[in-house]
Structure 1
Amino acid sequence: MMTYEEQEKIERLVAKDENAQKLITALRDDYHMALSQISHEIRNPLTYIDSSVQWIQKMHPEVEHFEFWDQIKSDLQYMRVLLDDISAFNNGDKLNICKIDPVEFACDLKDTLLPELLAHHIPLLLKLDNTYPDFYADPVRLKQVFINLLTNAIDSIEERGRITLKIFTHNKRMLLAVRDNGCGIPPEDQESIFQPFVTHKEHGTGLGLAIVRRIVVAHGGTIHLNSTVGKGSEFQIYLPLLPAPRFY
């Protein structure tokens, strides 16, 4: 599998070649279609298996005492999460751009994660500007990005900690950053964390940060990581101030 740096190199090489651009676009479309079809073909029998497992448990409650029953249900749940993540990764570059109020966006994120934050006794601090220029992005995809980053931040904090969400304008771009004082990410892991199916978490699918980067890149943005083991991490996302979308 190519690294993102290799993919970006290919994109630069074909940027001035219209025929190459059309070929790359066709290859990408075929890739998306194939991945969607594979996910669909797996999801259908998985749904039937899940229904059968529930029916068996309803008709034979004693099966709950079977040594591997909980593991079967856990594996089925993992497969559902994996398929959802594959779908999110596959569709990460499909955007519906509209105007976003950064303050409302930040407050909505905090409200969404409030139960999780309260359960872990972790405060989420918002650092926001008083005013912002017009900002256009896909609110659903962007929320997906920050729920992923904020959830990872929560998971990284083992004892008392805090998380900060910052949204500022910087050099005619929008800077959105998530900072935590959790366990940090070892240097040897930092180079691979955005790669699909690479995970350093016990129960991760390895697609969370790959989805994050895919959505950010689709917006024409960049993502950067600063992390120190034992001190915490900060993910910085720079997004262009896109013009208002045109409707024809």
Structure 2
Amino acid sequence: MLTYDEQKKMERLMADDEDVRHLITTIKNDYQLTLSQISHEIRNPLTYMNSSVQWIQKMHPEVEEFEFWNQLKDDIRYMKFLLDDISLFSHGEELNIVPMDLREFAYDVKDTLLAEFLQRHIVLIVKLDESYPTFYGDPIRLKQACINLLKNAMESITGRGKIILKIFVQEKKLLIAVKDNGCGMTSEQLTNIFHPFVTSKEHGTGLGLPIVRKIVTAHGGTVRVSSTPGKGSEFQMYLPLLPVASVYL
């Protein structure tokens, strides 16, 4: 995964030289095709395995008493989750840009995760501007980005906690921010959080934050993060207010 400075350098090269732009785009498309092919080839046998496991359990319910049966089902679910994340990562730059109602968007994101917030005894506070200028974006992709950030925030909190979702206009850009009072991250952790498959979670895929950055970058925006161990983290997505062409990295 490229660093922020490397991304900006690549953008300048693509803007200055048509041949470079074509070459980089071709490499990117080949890379995405390879990911999609791998995901497809793994998903088919995994589907058959899942069907077989369900059939075995139906025909032989006593198998549930086997020590590792639940672990087998958990491993299959994890593989499906991993493949879903790979698919999101591979297609994160494919956007369907439309005008968005940002207040409606914010409450849709909240409602999607409301049950999980209640179950975890975590308070979600939504802070919005009184009004917004016209904003163009892909509501499905941006919802994916917000949900990834909110789930990370939830998982960083032990016991009761608080998360703030903010959507403001700031510095002539749209700011979507997620702030938590969870465990926070060290400076060393911060240097690697956007690298694919790097995770400190026991069952994490390491693709959640790379997906967020890919979606935001495709909108022509940037992601910033600040964190203090023991106090919490804040992720900020800055997006242009006017529609822009997707940036391919």
TM-score by length of 2: 0.94
SS at match of 2:16: coil
CA contact (8 A) 2:97 2:243 kept: no
Equivalent residue, structure 2, for 1:56: 56
* Correspondence 1:24-103 to 2 at 5 A: 24-103=24-103
Point out the more displaced range, 148-157 or 207-216: 148-157
Letter in 1 for 2:71: Q
Cα deviation for residue 107 of structure 1 reads 1.1
- For 2:178 and 2:204, the matched residues in 1 are separated by 20
Q: 3-state DSSP class of the match of 1:233?
A: strand
Offset of 1:155 from its aligned partner?
Answer: 1.2
Equivalent pairs counted in the alignment come to: 245
Residue 122 of structure 1 is matched in structure 2 by 122
Residues 121 and 159, structure 2, Cα contact 8 Å, conserved in 1: no
**Is residue 169 of structure 1 aligned with residue 173 of structure 2?**
no
Distance in 2 separating the partners of 1:104 and 1:164: 17
CA RMSD of aligned residues (A): 1.6
Aligned-pair distance for 1:243? 3.6
Q: State yes or no: 1:137 paired with 2:137.
A: yes
1:102-145 CA distances to partner (integer Å, 9 max, x unpaired)?
Answer: 11111111111111111112111111111111011000000000
Shift in Å, 1:5 = 4.3
Hey, what does 1:106 align to over in structure 2?
106
* 1:48-89 residue CA offsets vs partner (Å, 9 max, x unmatched): 111111111111122212222112111111110000000000
1:99/1:244 contact within 8 Å kept:
no
Partner secondary structure for residue 54 of structure 1: helix
My pick for the range that moved more, 123-132 or 1-10, is 1-10
Question: CA distance change for structure 1 residues 229 and 221 in 2, over 3 Å: closer, same or farther?
Answer: same
What CA distance in whole angstroms lies between the structure 1 residues aligned with 2:244 and 2:132?
A: 15
CA distance in 2 between counterparts of 1:3 and 1:131 reads 34
For 2:215 and 2:186, locate their aligned partners in 1 and report how far apart those are by CA, in whole Å: 24
**Residue aligning to 2:187:** 187
The 8 Å contact of residues 3 and 195 in structure 1, kept in 2 or not, is answered as no
Identity of aligned residues (%): 64
Partners of 1:148 and 1:212 within 8 A in 2: yes
Deviates more, 1:110-119 or 1:58-67: 58-67
| C-alpha contact (below 8 Å) 1:96/1:137 kept by paired residues | yes
**2:238: which partner in 1?**
238
Conserved in 1, the CA contact under 8 Å of 2:109 and 2:143?
A: yes
Q: Is the 8 A contact 1:182 1:231 kept in 2?
A: yes
1:188-214, CA deviations, whole angstroms, 9 ceiling, x for partnerless residues?
Answer: 100100110000111100000110010
Are residue 209 (structure 1) and residue 209 (structure 2) matched? yes
Runs of at least 5 residues in structure 2 that lack an aligned partner in the other structure: none
Partners of 1:124 and 1:162 within 8 A in 2: yes
Taking structure 1 as the reference length, the TM-score comes to 0.94
Written as runs of structure 1 = structure 2, the 5 A alignment for 1:220-231 is: 220-231=220-231
CA contact (8 A) 2:96 2:138 kept: yes
Q: Distance in 2 between matches of 1:243 and 1:146?
A: 19
Q: In 2, Cα distance between the equivalents of 1:2 and 1:240?
A: 21
